[in-house]
Chain A
């Protein structure tokens, strides 16, 4: 206040903030926000919005192409089409341990992974080896003209079976 003999620059009161501290805090806060913002924007930049990867939904022919009690490996899609007398399901051929491609071994009635020796039953259940989870089942339905449609992005329960 004008007229008062006050020492300049030193505010009174216990929690009083000097002008210098105030501006420092504002600047620090602004820089922090700017830094965080820059980081977030950079991460979003690095995360692609459009992927040029092969489509994950595909047609698998008619159910009659698959004999009863068979396991057919579709190499282009890395999917097994399994048909039993109860129905059909689509099994991922990618081992759940570390991503190697498994192989169907009819002589031992097992799906085997070459990398660390994991073995799966035709239901996808883990029978041996270090794989932590069973092979996932993909959603499979009948499209137009009775053609099988498999969607690799949609994982369904192990017990779901397509009745044909």
Chain B
């Protein structure tokens, strides 16, 4: 008890220092104003609204599917970055690095499993989220454009999963990508040139692996972050989450 009191006193002293007050200006979030500022004045959190309807917080309202999709994206980013420490996107190395990760690197197999599991889960979550938003009418005005952004996010998610699928460079990866890129060549007029640009050539080889790697690790995650930010911002600006009863 005495140590808790002592710790509290030291923390209070710390909070009064000039350095602390130059970083944290708001003060403890106890009053309505400081609680509002905790969200409104925060770089990351101000994409959320200051107040939400109590109904929208229940699990049954949304099953937290949107949040789960976002959290899975965060998990994938973290595990993905860690996996990048051992992976070379080159043709003989890639497969060797996969074996390295699975059999040699400490906790490598766990990290890889986590990444792949989160990827599959994210595709499921994103689809489920879309269906659930549809069935509760969350696309109705004024949320129309947010729905469109959501469809864009669905495409980005699928494309992220697809580009990641090639990276292990095993038989499963190679032939899945072969079938997929051949489908692209059936697009009239632009199909073959798009396939050529995507693969960096005519065959699935070194260039293709590198391009898929860049797409998977840089281009698509950036696109996802931008779209996610717009998606959250739109909800805030449109007045908050929709709940099933709103439109029935």
A115 and B179 form a contact (CB under 8 A): yes
A43 to B193 Cα, complex, angstroms:
11
Contact B183 A98 (CB under 8 A): yes
Of listed A52, A53, A98, A115, residue having the most chain B CB within 10 A = A98
The 9 closest A-B pairs by CB, nearest first: A99-B182, A98-B182, A98-B179, A51-B201, A99-B178, A48-B200, A53-B203, A46-B197, A53-B201
Within the complex, the shortest CB–CB distance from B175 to chain A, in Å, comes to 7
Q: A47 at interface (Cβ–Cβ under 8 A)?
A: yes
B positions within 8 Å CB-CB of A: 175, 178-179, 181-183, 196-197, 200-203, 205-207
Please tell me if the beta carbons of A48 and B175 are within 8 angstroms of each other in the complex: no
Secondary structure type dominating chain A contacts: loop
Q: How many residues of A contact B (CB 8 A)?
A: 11
A interface residues (Cβ-Cβ under 8 A, vs B) = 43, 46-48, 51-53, 98-100, 115
A130 to B181, CA, bound (A): 17
By a CB distance below 8 angstroms, the chain A residues around B203 are 53
Q: Can you identify 5 A-B contacts, CB atoms within 8 angstroms? A: A52-B205, A52-B207, A98-B182, A98-B183, A99-B179
Q: Roughly how many angstroms separate A115 CA and B175 CA in the complex, as a whole number?
A: 10
Do B197 and A100 have beta carbons less than 8 Å apart?
no
What residues of B have a CB within 8 angstroms of the CB of A46 in the complex? 197, 200
Give the complex CA separation of A50 and B182 in angstroms.
22
CB-CB under 8 A from B179, the residues of chain A are 98-100, 115
